[in-house]
Structure 1
Amino acid sequence: MVVDAATAVAVGVDPATAVAIALLTAVTIATRLLGPMIMRVVGAPPRVEAFLEAMSVSVLAALVATIVAVSGPREWVAVGVAAVVAVASRSAIWAMFAAVAVAATWTASVP
Structure 2
Amino acid sequence: MSDTILLILTCALATYATRAGGHLILSRFGTTHYRLEAALEAVPTAVLTALVAPSLITNGPAEAIAVLVGGLVALRYPLVVSVLSGIICLIVLRGVLI
**Correspondent of 2:56 among 68, 85, 92:** 68
Higher relative contact order (CA 8 A, sep 6+): 2
Mapped partners of 1:101, 1:76: distance in 2: 13
Residues 82-103 of structure 1: CA distance to partner in whole angstroms, max 9, x if unpaired? Answer: 122223x243322211100111
Give unpaired runs (5+ residues) of structure 2. Answer: none
Go from structure 1 to structure 2 and tell me whether the alpha carbon gap of 1:97 and 1:32 turns closer, same or farther (over 3 Å shift). same
For normalisation by structure 2, the TM-score amounts to: 0.73
- How many Å apart are 1:25 and its aligned residue? 4.9
For normalisation by structure 1, the TM-score amounts to: 0.66
Mapped partners of 2:33, 2:52: distance in 1: 30
Alignment of 1:39 with 2:26, yes or no, is: yes
Higher strand share: 1
Higher helix share: 2
Listed as ranges, the matches of 1:1-111 within 5 Å are 8-10=1-3, 25-43=12-30, 44-87=32-75, 89-111=76-98
Residues 38-79 of structure 1: CA distance to partner in whole angstroms, max 9, x if unpaired? Answer: 322224222111111112211211222111011111101101
- How many Å apart are 1:32 and its aligned residue? 1.2
Give unpaired runs (5+ residues) of structure 1. Answer: 1-7, 12-19
Larger Rg: 1
Identity between Structure 1 and Structure 2 (%) = 29
- How many Å apart are 1:26 and its aligned residue? 3.7
